[in-house]
Amino acid sequence: MSEYLDTSCTVKWFKENEEYYEESLKLRERIFNFETEFVMSYYGLLELIRALVKSKYPKERIEESFQSIHDLYEIGALKNVRIEEVLNLAKNTEIKRDLYSSDALHVACAVHRGCRIFWSEDSHHLKEKTKKYMQTHDITVRALREIESV
C-alpha cells in the first residue's frame, strides 16, 4: 500500500507552533521507519519553500528543510511522481474538480501511483467533493488528526 503526502502536512514538520505539529511528526516517523511506500511529487519541495518563505522562516533553516526532505527521496523513503506522467490527468482534474493546479497535481499523482491514503491539511483536499472523487479511485483522504487510526 502506498500513501501520498501533500505539502500541507510536511510543512508542519518545521513549524512547532502549527496546529497538528505533533501529529505531523508521527507521520514523519512512519516515513523514517519505511512503514509503507510514501509518495510526494518533487513539486511539493517547491511548495514547502514557498510556505516557509511566506511565514518568514529563517532562510538558513529553509535550506536545511529543503535538504532534509530531499534526503528522504535519496534514501528511498519518499517516491517521486514525474509531472510529465500525470500532466493530462492533472489538467482534467483541475478542470473537472475546479482545483488549483498544485492541488490537482497532487491528486493526479496519488491517483496515478495507486495510493490508498492521501494525507493533507489543505482545505481544498478536505472538501467533500474532493474526498468523493478520491474514493472513486479507492483513495481515502486523511487529515493529520486521523494519524492514530492508521
The answer to whether the CB of 140 falls within 8 A of the CB of 118 is yes
Burial class (CB in 10 A: 0-12, 13-18, 19+), 3: buried
Q: Is residue 106 part of a domain?
A: yes
The answer to whether the CB of 115 falls within 8 A of the CB of 4 is yes
Q: Looking at residue 22, what is its pLDDT? A: 96
Distances (CA, A) of 80 to 4, 22, 143: 10, 25, 21
CATH number, domain with residue 53: 3.40.50.1010
Q: Which three cell numbers stand for residue 1?
A: 500500500
Mean pLDDT along residues 50-60: 94
Q: Is residue 150 part of a domain?
A: no
- Whether 64 shows a pLDDT value over 90: the answer reads yes
List, in order, residues 6 or more apart from 48 with CB less than 8 Å away. 7, 10, 11, 65, 66, 69
Mean pLDDT along residues 37-55: 96
Q: Looking at residue 70, what is its pLDDT? A: 97
Q: Is residue 25 part of a domain?
A: yes
Amino acid at 121: E
What is the spatial distance between Cα 118 and Cα 81, in angstroms, rounded to a whole number? 14
Mean pLDDT along residues 116-126: 95
Nearest to 2 by CA among 83, 112, 126: 112
Q: Looking at residue 149, what is its pLDDT? A: 76
Q: Looking at residue 143, what is its pLDDT? A: 97
Q: Is residue 12 part of a domain?
A: yes
Q: Looking at residue 1, what is its pLDDT? A: 87
- Overall domain count for the chain: 1
Looking at per-residue pLDDT, the higher value among 150 and 36 belongs to 36
- Whether 79 shows a pLDDT value over 90: the answer reads yes
Confidence band, pLDDT 50/70/90 cuts, at residue 77: very high
- Domain of 62, in residue numbers: 2-145
